[in-house]
Amino acid sequence: MKNLKEILISAGEIDKYFDGKVPVNLWRAKNLNAKGPIFGMVEQKIIRNNGKVRPADITIYKKDGVDWVSVKDRPRGISTFDRPNVFARGRWDYYKIPTGTDIPSA
Average pLDDT, the chain: 83
Q: Report CA torsion sign: 15, 19, 24, 27.
A: positive
55 C-beta neighbours (distance < 10 Å), count: 13
- Summarised one tens digit per residue, pLDDT across range 72-94 is 666 556 788 999 999 988 899 99
Q: How, if at all, do strands 26-31 and 46-47 pair?
A: unpaired
Give every CB contact of residue 76 below 8 A, 6+ residues apart in sequence: 55, 57, 58
3-state SS assignment for residue 5: helix
Q: Tell me the residue length of the chain.
A: 106
One-letter amino acid at 77 equals: G
Q: Is this structure's pTM higher than 0.85?
A: no
- Summarised one tens digit per residue, pLDDT across range 32-73 is 887 777 766 677 788 888 999 887 777 788 889 998 877 766
- Summarised one tens digit per residue, pLDDT across range 5-28 is 888 888 898 887 888 898 899 999
Between the alpha carbon of residue 30 and those of residues 4, 8, 39, 87, the distances in Å are: 24, 26, 9, 10
